[in-house]
Structure 1
């Protein structure tokens, strides 16, 4: 229908223009379009400024167009400057297109400043414009999933308002945090970004150590720089956008239905020696399940605990400015109603950026973000719903949920949790003030001061569900966080002939303080008082804590470019972190990189096929000190102990404490050293462009806890020990497949493969089975027996034989005995590679974007595959062994056994998958239709997020993106939205 209206509109406009042109003297203009070296350009867009008609250049660069004599022609082509040329009665207009210098001069954000894109020597990806707003989500990082090679992004879970997990180039540390450093306008913010994508100007991802070393201690796991929009001089702008969508659980977990469950329960009770004899119903089923079989009761528990969800966002922004002052401000309201009942989330975000030019050399400004979040309800236990018996009832005859659907099974109704009252509230005030002095055209001094205040309160009341079980529990958790960052940045830049030089000096101080308080009680007198009068609880407990950290840094960086061909970059950062041991708090992190723009060499200048070619080589060192504060200090137990002193019968209790942690007197920085070689390229006037990077890094002095002998009186102590290695390669490719005036098609391809390996462990160990760490293997592995099938009749001669229908595992050492020595590494939890392909099509004013995402080779321990041979609870609809079905997939069910040998092997699975992550169809109304209402842009769109799976190696119905987890399912979202600008 949309296409039909588009065609009608286009026809009406064309007819109107035809009659208008008939009244004006027409002129046929011809010519040839070439580039600067005389090569003909194919597909150049030529548009009449007044008449609105257009054409494109032919294979030899020639064109022909009829326009009014007083018209102006607009020539545009990807990678070249647009040109406007007045016709002035001319019949021949030959045009030379000039290479678009702005592509070379494009500025990207780097640590503590900006840099020309052509001068970048490290591995940096910049994302901006529509790429940030294509995917609508609570967190802007979700729109980057698959767009940036080497960056693994996934949602924590499917709960409304849930966060995002991010890894840049895999894992490096065994114990310390592996998350990247995320900064907003130069200040650390955290990965839970509450800023709407409409407010973000660009996101830069710094991946290699030569780029991240300027952040020293915080850059070991990559750096993500978010730059928000600022006001500009000129006409004020108003931007409004909104969308509303409905959601549903992505898929149903494929558990047994009524018939399958009844059959499985009966099979679990059968005598394997007399298989054909059916057990009595009363023997196979207990309690309410007997009535469920006899009366045909069926409950789909997933339908009971899920519902249609929704997601909405409303954004209103203003920006503008005059000669001295500029502003950019916005308000965003985001609401998500989850697909699980009693799951609600709301977020309010206010942002204000102000800049004021006091005089020609001094300006000041401020960036402020205020966020308030609300979450209500705990929601039912989705995993419990999956396991609940389908032949029991959820509600009684009055419509009230039945607390224990089967009195013979202790599993409670998952709906019982919706009676639990929970209200989480959190707010954050994040504000940065700056002053900038520019005494000369080459020198800039900037001072930034940020303070970050946040608080959260989680109040809960869990009432007694039934008189015979449980007691009332209530309480409140309070948390307060405050901190500041102050940095002073002195920058120098100068161009002298073919030489371009820039330098930066930085001093930075950062401090954080976290307070936590917990008050709880049981058997509250009046439940309606919730957590507001905990004194009425019969018993009460309290807890409080305080953590403080500080970081002081000094930084220097020099960048030197010769003739736009050769660039050299050096940097060094000296960091001191409070949480490390005295005498070892400081360390130095250097980096160096070079770039060679091969395209500028004489032997490539006249080769028109290659439009850009740059080689990058870099090496750098960065650190990690992300362990809990006071981890290196000796500690006493948190709660006091009671010691009794005195004569028997007259003892007196005395409060006391005992040592529980030994001081780490020599703990240093964990250090990562990484080398990177990259190639940036552009072909056919950048119709094809991209980059290729290969890297390898070592992380040593790992922050680990070494086990101590029992005679010491302590369990372990923090030490620097061990080493890991990581390596991989990344490919990024952007192609403009078709680029005509009425049809455009471009593609973005991303592919990254990374590997990690443990090189050394503490105390010379080769393996630490308790932590699943093995020298020579990946950091995160699945380690267990290797299942090879199910024992069948005829396997009795196998020396490892247990019983028919039970799990067969591989005898790795062929000694005829299965013991712990037969356990092996089955696979790595990290994927072999991650890739994506994003295609964008534009036909006239209609656009379509399709995002295909793949993650391949990861091996998981999926809780969805948990097995219970007794069939006390429901299971996945598995193919289990019976004498009539001698499968090798799953063992026989046996109600007499709580667990089968090697049962853990059943939950391991390859989790390779390919998904369509997003499809967006939009229509931008032509300016000729909206100019009369003073609207500069009006776009409507429909989008499907997470619509379907192309391929998955898991059981059909399991969402591979949840890695086999059955809690908080992801949703499929269908939405409609509008973008409007004045």
Structure 2
């Protein structure tokens, strides 16, 4: 029996071996060229192979019933039963989706192959999109020519996006955002402050708040004028088109997705400030240098004790008395910056029926910043529906709503040097405990940082609704009429309360400032679209239309002070004394009537022509200048369709693009061309409060559009069956009739007036490279990168020349200076100059040459505004050689414009595992580290300083060129000593994910992932972060780091479940 079993076993194995068969073959495309790297798989098994460099393959199949599955990127998959075949040659058809992929452009879409302008598309997978909490984060580092600046350390903080450099010197440089055809307001418009104090400006909030990245289907970034001219007067800075999701094709069943994540964030860097012992040494040394008594005693075990001086009433002798208990040593950065925790959860439901499709989402996020009092709670809803009402009529409706409730730490633009929370953390003495007050510090605009957590409130509530609805009717084959209406509504209330624990509240016995913003904008588009293929050689895509856009905004602000019950301040404004009337209301209305048209014509799929035109009539301008006209033209040559290119057998795609166009900018106040009057309150002769009106501006009825003319040439290439793609663009653009404020005589009560004057140019090169390194059944690896070079120059300002000195040589130059960085003691001066022939916003200040090492050298040096030097002072370079340092000695000390920006990404998949990483960087720019103006000098007052500023200070017998002497007090002067290299390289994002095996549970997919953000940055910059977020919407202040909230690193854990 045993022998029989062995014989049967060998017979069975022999049969199995006999059943195996070998299949060979060659795989090629419809053009006859063989395809290397095609996946060949025995369907239903893990047995597979790939074709070699000649497109050949060999595979073992289990029998004649086997089915082979052939798949390759960019081609339609095929299934072929084996049967009795031994050789199976396959011709793969190019994917229809690849051939007919469309790109959204202004007021329509075109086939990707027919694109003639410079357009970057950001379309991330569900895995990537869910890693981001905001749209700006999704854009960062992903497109050439686009620079994104944001601060994840501050919840809801604004984002600045620049496309191809700076176009306007004083106007808005942010791109136009269009969501599902509706223009939405950007963060630059949301800077209304709830205070009448110019020192108390709020950091602007993110204008894209509430747009959930998970709801986004795709983002198209229109960069050159041939693409943006269809938006006319609002397209000069580029256009970001955002399309949200719709229901996908399916079997009619709803696709349900639930998600949740928890993110932990912490301060990315801390500055090395003096600890308690170092601070005590610093104050004692300062006291001795000034001929005063020391204030602190330092014990052998490095404990600090306060010293008071008591006079004996009998002898009159003053003696020091050392306190019994040591002083508490506080590292304020450790005390007030904490772990921020954000949790996000939500659900999406999508589906498609026979004549309708829908997408619904609901989300909630609770984001806590790295400062205890900074937090935003936000809920969002979205419903997108498309219904085929008849065979010819389609209704599309998209509605989103967000509500958020936030609280913020004190920070801002011009308040940065004096009254930001960051300033208090860095400058406050480490030897004063929580809740203690120091009247000397109050005089210096410095309060206990803990008081800014307990005695300062900044609360904002905001409702935003974005809605659009369109009807599209097919008049004839290829001819459609579309009418679309859109609404962007925003209501925002902000309240700020300064209690008596902080200097402003102490002086006024509590101050409450409240403001409201109620704004809505609406659009109405009437479009006629014709898209047809006349025969195999001619294809026409045409859009003509009339659009009307309008907006209405009301803003009010009032201030209340002198609260009898201070704990109720923010909740009981009626208890205080009103010092600014609630009637101080600003109403703003503006509108644009536009006529537009675009024709895209493709000849033989080789030659593509695009022509567009738009005429905008704006209510902002007076008669005679009301209309602006913005034409554009572009040409693309699809060289890949030429036989001489096909014969090379090198390119998968080769297209040359050339374009020209004009766009505009109308970023001025709605009533700049009209005489404005302000309401004032005054006490009349009967001691009654009366209301009057005074002139509020000098109008200029001759104002007109800024006009930007741009030329673009591009080359699109792909190789190796589309596995390697290269896109190159070269551009030149020139902006004329710059909208500016010029200085005028003050005899009429005003110092400036708006005017069109000046020109600016930008030119640059953009390169993008994407590669599919591995593309197999169980493993894939994709990489991509981009680099962008931009150079700008002020061509003309139209002003009178003034004297400038450099190395003893005088020249006459045309220029103006930017706004003062601060209104306080430090940096109360401009940092930037705008000079003809130079880059925009060059840093302008005093050059220095080390430290005077002895009194003889100090005596020989030039005086500073008539004051003699001493050893240990900073050596200023006397540019005009007159022996005195003054404003005439200022010169170029840095350039805030980078030489280039870059980024690259990696995406890897292996079976159920996924990994992705994003890196980005900037090279060649300089930063004015405004924080160093104060903390990098041991000035000698009660403020804290950097450890190196004290320990490395110049002293007799201990020469130093790194920091001046203790007590040096010219640190408020802007010099090259605080100008630093701003280059950096950063890992912005790294994510690891795993798809859990849940098929047996009836779930489609469960993905667990972890994400790290900003985990490392390589830079020589000594400040908190080289990505400067100060003054993002003030075009006259560039490259200045001025005490904004520090950046944050974070770690996120998330779960995504699909039913």
Contact 2:771 2:784 in 1 (8 A): yes
Offset of 1:391 from its aligned partner?
2.5
CA distance in 2 between counterparts of 1:685 and 1:68 reads: 31
Counterpart secondary structure, 2:494: strand
Over residues 132-176 of structure 1, what are the superposed CA-to-partner deviations in whole Å (9 max), with x where a residue is unaligned? 835734312212211111111011562112221111111111111
Find 2:236's aligned residue among 209, 212, 220: 220
Contact 2:287 2:293 in 1 (8 A): no
CA distance in 1 between counterparts of 2:926 and 2:170 reads: 21
Find 1:733's aligned residue among 769, 790, 802: 769
The alignment status of 1:939 with 2:939, answered yes or no, reads: no
CA distance in 2 between counterparts of 1:529 and 1:267 reads: 44
Contact 2:218 2:242 in 1 (8 A): yes
CA distance in 2 between counterparts of 1:514 and 1:660 reads: 19
Contact 1:254 1:956 in 2 (8 A): no
Offset of 1:635 from its aligned partner?
2.1
Matched with 2:379 is 348
Over residues 294-340 of structure 1, what are the superposed CA-to-partner deviations in whole Å (9 max), with x where a residue is unaligned? 82632111111111111222121111121112111110111211111
Offset of 1:759 from its aligned partner?
1.1
Gaps of 5+ in 1: 1-18, 273-277, 395-400, 645-649
Task: Give runs of aligned pairs for residues 534-613 of structure 1, distance below 5 A.
Answer: 534-542=573-581, 543-613=584-654
CA distance in 1 between counterparts of 2:385 and 2:275 reads: 60
CA distance in 1 between counterparts of 2:268 and 2:248 reads: 43
Matched with 2:396 is 365
Offset of 1:232 from its aligned partner?
3.5
Over residues 410-452 of structure 1, what are the superposed CA-to-partner deviations in whole Å (9 max), with x where a residue is unaligned? 6321111223344321101211111110021210110001122
Matched with 1:969 is 1046
Over residues 943-972 of structure 1, what are the superposed CA-to-partner deviations in whole Å (9 max), with x where a residue is unaligned? 1011011x2121276555556443311111
Matched with 1:483 is 521
CA distance in 2 between counterparts of 1:611 and 1:122 reads: 20
The alignment status of 1:888 with 2:975, answered yes or no, reads: no
Find 1:634's aligned residue among 675, 678, 682: 675
Task: Give runs of aligned pairs for residues 432-447 of structure 1, distance below 5 A.
Answer: 432-447=468-483
Distance 1:701 1:434, change over 3 A: same
**Given the two structures, how large is their TM-score scaled by the length of structure 2?**
0.84
Matched with 1:53 is 47
Offset of 1:595 from its aligned partner?
0.5
Matched with 2:807 is none
The alignment status of 1:678 with 2:678, answered yes or no, reads: no
The alignment status of 1:776 with 2:794, answered yes or no, reads: no
When structure 1 is superposed on structure 2, of 588-597 and 332-341 the one drifting more is: 332-341
The alignment status of 1:65 with 2:59, answered yes or no, reads: yes
Distance 1:976 1:391, change over 3 A: same
The alignment status of 1:920 with 2:991, answered yes or no, reads: yes
Counterpart secondary structure, 1:417: helix
**Given the two structures, how large is their TM-score scaled by the length of structure 1?**
0.90
Contact 2:329 2:432 in 1 (8 A): yes
CA distance in 1 between counterparts of 2:105 and 2:640 reads: 24
CA distance in 2 between counterparts of 1:360 and 1:97 reads: 35
Matched with 1:195 is 211
Matched with 2:5 is none
Matched with 1:496 is 534
Offset of 1:597 from its aligned partner?
0.8
The alignment status of 1:414 with 2:452, answered yes or no, reads: no
CA distance in 2 between counterparts of 1:265 and 1:293 reads: 20
CA distance in 2 between counterparts of 1:377 and 1:38 reads: 64
Distance 1:409 1:637, change over 3 A: closer
Find 2:739's aligned residue among 698, 703, 722: 703
Matched with 1:172 is 167
Gaps of 5+ in 2: 1-12, 187-206, 299-303, 309-321, 411-419, 802-813, 820-832, 864-868, 1030-1039
Contact 2:135 2:213 in 1 (8 A): yes
Task: Give runs of aligned pairs for residues 425-436 of structure 1, distance below 5 A.
Answer: 425-436=461-472
Offset of 1:655 from its aligned partner?
5.3
Over residues 577-635 of structure 1, what are the superposed CA-to-partner deviations in whole Å (9 max), with x where a residue is unaligned? 11122321111100001001111111011322211111111010011111121122112
The alignment status of 1:911 with 2:996, answered yes or no, reads: no
Distance 1:368 1:958, change over 3 A: closer
When structure 1 is superposed on structure 2, of 23-32 and 40-49 the one drifting more is: 23-32
Contact 1:287 1:408 in 2 (8 A): no
When structure 1 is superposed on structure 2, of 255-264 and 346-355 the one drifting more is: 255-264
CA distance in 2 between counterparts of 1:797 and 1:538 reads: 56
Matched with 2:1032 is none
Contact 2:249 2:352 in 1 (8 A): yes
CA distance in 1 between counterparts of 2:239 and 2:710 reads: 14
Task: Give runs of aligned pairs for residues 871-882 of structure 1, distance below 5 A.
Answer: 871-878=941-948, 879-882=952-955
Contact 1:643 1:656 in 2 (8 A): no
Distance 1:518 1:812, change over 3 A: closer
Contact 2:846 2:974 in 1 (8 A): no
CA distance in 2 between counterparts of 1:203 and 1:658 reads: 47
Offset of 1:651 from its aligned partner?
9.3
Matched with 2:128 is 133
Distance 1:131 1:118, change over 3 A: farther
Contact 2:682 2:689 in 1 (8 A): no
Find 1:301's aligned residue among 304, 327, 332: 332
Counterpart secondary structure, 2:998: helix
Counterpart secondary structure, 1:725: strand
CA distance in 1 between counterparts of 2:995 and 2:506 reads: 63
Distance 1:960 1:790, change over 3 A: farther
The alignment status of 1:314 with 2:327, answered yes or no, reads: no
CA distance in 2 between counterparts of 1:655 and 1:195 reads: 43
Distance 1:921 1:670, change over 3 A: same
Offset of 1:389 from its aligned partner?
1.4
Offset of 1:564 from its aligned partner?
0.9
Counterpart secondary structure, 1:627: coil
Q: CA RMSD in A?
A: 2.9
Contact 2:117 2:224 in 1 (8 A): yes
Distance 1:799 1:246, change over 3 A: closer
The alignment status of 1:146 with 2:187, answered yes or no, reads: no
CA distance in 1 between counterparts of 2:983 and 2:458 reads: 37
Task: Give runs of aligned pairs for residues 369-384 of structure 1, distance below 5 A.
Answer: 369-376=400-407, 378=409, 381-384=421-424
Matched with 1:8 is none
Distance 1:91 1:931, change over 3 A: farther
Counterpart secondary structure, 2:680: coil
Offset of 1:87 from its aligned partner?
2.0
CA distance in 2 between counterparts of 1:746 and 1:729 reads: 24
Matched with 2:267 is 249
When structure 1 is superposed on structure 2, of 540-549 and 61-70 the one drifting more is: 61-70
Distance 1:654 1:392, change over 3 A: closer
Matched with 1:13 is none
Distance 1:601 1:814, change over 3 A: farther
CA distance in 2 between counterparts of 1:784 and 1:854 reads: 27
Offset of 1:470 from its aligned partner?
4.7
Distance 1:287 1:260, change over 3 A: closer
Counterpart secondary structure, 2:349: strand
Contact 1:132 1:144 in 2 (8 A): no
